[in-house]
Amino acid sequence: MLDTSALSCWIQGFVSIRAWVGVARLRGLTLLVPSLTRVEILTLHPDAAEAVEELTSHPHVLLTELSDADRNAVAGLLAASGTCDVLGGWIVHVCRSRGWPALSLDPGRLRRLDPDLEIDLL
């Protein structure tokens, strides 16, 4: 699952994130991009819409919406942690429930919510 820093790596052309997308293709893996990640990056970089579209239209990348069930789980996680980072909570929840690592250049955001979360650094 990609956080905002991972999407930022994509729009900046980092080799590490492009390698992850290549690995996903070779291994038939799916990389999830939360819709809030897209919103955050385009808020900061509105000129990056084409690059974001390139990534989210890749066959092994899925742009996801927060479901009602996930919304309740995220709200509980945020209440328990005393934080208000909806995107971070969403990523932590999905990664925990699926047993997936998060992809991030900025793991501190996720570590505040779950110090033990598996994070692959870009």
* List of domains in the chain: 4-121 (3.40.50.1010)
pLDDT digits 0-9 by tens, 50-66: 999 999 999 999 999 99
Evaluate whether 102 touches 5 at the Cβ level (below 8 Å): no
Q: What is the mean pLDDT of residues 6-30?
A: 95
Q: What is the mean pLDDT of residues 9-25?
A: 95
Q: What is the mean pLDDT of residues 22-48?
A: 95
Q: For the whole prediction, is pTM greater than 0.95?
A: no
pLDDT given at position 114: 95
Per-residue tokens: 67: 């479901």
Amino acid 42 reads L
* 53-to-18, 29, 94 alpha-carbon distances in Å: 14, 19, 22
Q: What is the mean pLDDT of residues 6-15?
A: 96
Percentage of the chain modeled with pLDDT above 70:
100
pLDDT given at position 14: 96
Per-residue tokens: 101: 């690592």
Evaluate whether 42 touches 52 at the Cβ level (below 8 Å): yes
Amino acid 80 reads A
